[in-house]
Amino acid sequence: MGGRERLLRQFAAEEVASGLRHQLVNKIAAVGALTFHLRRQLPAGTPEAATQVLPMIDAELAQATQMLDVRFLGPTGPAEAVALGEVVARLLASVERPAGVEVVAAQGPSAVVASDRAELDLALFCLLENALESGGRTVTVRWDQPGELAVVEIADDGPGLDEDQRRKARDPFFTTKPGRLGLGLNVASRIAQRWRGTLELAGAHRGLVARLALPMAP
């Protein structure tokens, strides 16, 4: 298994765990509400041995909630100084293009961003793969350095997404492509946020434009 696939699986596991955590926290809160209600309903003269159980239950619930706060991934150290053009060039050289799809690269300035090299590669891979599978004939990749941010723009000329679909596109497991998992744009968006960046999706006259912006390295 390659490093990119391994990292993608970790992000997928994190997303599944996040959904399960939300449901479990709701269940724990419900049990806590029941113990609170039970405490108020206990009649006067209830043996102390019985009432002492309730604080023990509350403590166990609090500990369970704290354990669920552990996440699979997260920045484990300071950001690296990553040469954006170098990452894009290696990605374009390694990704398989569907038959009949042309990839046009418009080289920009030699921007160096504050990020993690492997995660930036994965985010761009997800955006490029989404564009290559759009059903269009041309994918354009360009990057620029407007001010304190470096921006990578990946655009396709496929059918595109309507406004409602664009709003949902970064939701986990949302997809318009049969047989796909629907995590690519979600993963790219989460990586951007982890390194104080943004991911914007815009509709063009035809197709979809994804803009990934990251802060420049000091």
| pLDDT mean over 153-176 | 88
Nearest to 207 by CA among 147, 148, 152, 127: 127
**Which sequence spans correspond to the domains of the chain?**
3-67, 80-215
* CA Rg value for the chain: 23
Packing angle of the helix pair 84-94, 117-132 (nearest 10 deg): 50
Burial of 178 (0-12, 13-18, 19+ CB in 10 A): exposed
pTM of the model: 0.72
pLDDT tens per residue, range 126-151 = 999 999 999 899 999 999 887 889 99
* Secondary-structure class of domain 80-215 per CATH: alpha beta
CA 29/CA 188 separation, integer angstroms: 32
pLDDT value, residue 178: 75
The pairing of beta strand 102-106 with beta strand 138-144: parallel
Residue 2 falls in which region: left (phi positive, over 0), alpha (psi -120 to 50) or beta = beta
Residue for token pair 């390659």: 2
56 versus 24: the higher-pLDDT residue is 56
